[in-house]
Amino acid sequence: MTRRERLHRCYFHEETDRPGIYCRTLFPEADPSYDRFKACLEEHTELKGGWNPFALESRAPEEHLTEPISDDWERHLTILHTPAGDLRSSSRHSLKGEPGLHDEYLLKSREDAEKYLSLPLPEITGDDVSGYFERDRLLGDAGIVEVRLGSNPGGDVVQLFGSERFALMSVTDRDIIHRLCERFLQVQLQRVKFLLSKKLGPYYSIQGQEYIVPPLHGPNDFNDFNVKYDKPIIDLIHEAGGRVHIHCHGSVKTVLPGFLEMGCDVLHPFEAPPMGDVTAREAREIVRDRICLEGNIQIADLYEQTPEAIREQTEKLITDTFDDRKGLIVCPSASPYLRGQGEKCLPRLQAMIDTVLGWRGNS
């Protein structure tokens, strides 16, 4: 079974010869300590390429400005021009490779939301999707290429307000939140229809659901702002024979039925306490063969635990979730993230990989 075939079977809920193996690849920039880590992934794991269509779509008029803060930081300003007035956001960007920080979100009030809704919907202004097919050709039998749709409608709205203000607005101005979600739904439906007309797929990915999960939001909000608006998008992809991968951190146990209802095919990750609230065995019992589970070795453990501990975790993960030989891609919970620490976590990665490659089931 090739690596491509194995991932295809995972996405389509079919039996595989062994679990898949994957690792997300947003490494620290220009960090040679991860060179051998990356080479190990290339040689031994199922690979995923990604392609997104956003360059083919028109954008609202906006200005981008930069202001110095210190030797380590600068402020990035965005001014979005709408028919109803300007909107402004700002964030701090590190000059040393550290994570950024939002200072001011684009939307702060109902009035701002009305301004944003005055924008015309983006249009498809290009049709060159050759990059997707070239990536697929180059990857060959080593893996698959996902069409990356970016954020789901609910996640897009949270990112406009920030999590705290979104939570408040979901109580005081729930109608305007729904109007914004509906706008982003129409954008995604237009996008997906275009991509399907170009015969892209069958593998798609979408994210953003993690902004609207417990403990900040309960199952009702998850259903109202995720399931309601994601299901039409996923249904459209399913009708064309495609499959959908969703990336969602958080406490997902009570909302796993919502992922089933929206039609999620592959879910990454599924986290036990303290990072989440669901064990691997519990997740499998809830979703059975309707969702492929991708995970879940906590990324911090690749830096902090011993290789033997990673081996034991991986063995237990397979025992708890792969009893029917379907629907498991062993994977860390996130991309490696600690600068200069690639060599430190390499033996743990190798222990995870070797355990999967050495798995022989009950035979």
* pLDDT value for 207: 98
Extract the tokens encoding 39.
Answer: 């080479």
What mean pLDDT is predicted for residues 271-298? 96
Q: Over 50: is that where the pLDDT of 191 sits? A: yes
b/e code 121-143 from CB counts within 10 Å (16+ = b): ebeeeeeebeebeeebeebeebb
- Tell me what pLDDT residue 213 has: 97
User: What confidence tier does 363 reach under pLDDT thresholds 50, 70, 90?
Assistant: very low
> Per CATH, is 3-59+122-357 categorized as 3.30.497.10?
no
pLDDT tens sequence across 51-103: 999 999 999 999 999 999 999 999 999 999 999 999 999 999 988 877 788 89
| Cβ partners under 8 Å of residue 153, min gap 6 | 180, 181, 182, 183, 184, 185, 188, 208, 225, 229, 230
Percentage of the chain with pLDDT > 70?
99
* Residue 158 to residue 164: CA distance in whole angstroms: 9
Given a cut of 80, whether residue 21 has pLDDT beyond it is yes
Name the region of 233 (left: φ>0; alpha: ψ -120 to 50; beta: rest): alpha
pLDDT of residue 360: 86
> pLDDT of 125-145, one tens digit each?
999 999 999 999 999 999 999
pLDDT averaged over the chain?
96
Which pTM does this prediction carry?
0.95
pLDDT at position 100 is: 85
pLDDT of residue 362: 59
Q: What is the mean pLDDT of residues 181-197?
A: 98
Indicate if the pLDDT at residue 357 is higher than 50.
yes
The ranges of the chain annotated as CATH 3.20.20.210 are 3-59+122-357
Long-range contacts of 219-224 (CB under 8 A, 24+ apart): 219/254, 219/255, 219/258, 221/170, 222/255, 222/258, 223/258, 223/261, 224/178
219-261 pLDDT, tens digit each: 999 999 999 999 999 999 999 999 999 999 999 999 999 999 9
What pLDDT shows up at residue 97?
Answer: 74
If you write DSSP's letter for every residue of 73-122 in order, what string do you get?
EEEEEEEEEETTEEEEEEEEEESSS---EEEE-S--SHHHHHHHHTSPPP
Whether 114 has a pLDDT exceeding 70, the answer reads yes
* Model pLDDT, residue 289: 92
> What local confidence, expressed as pLDDT, does residue 226 receive?
98
CA dihedral 106, 112, 116, 118 (to 10 degrees): -160
Check residue 95 and give its pLDDT. Answer: 87
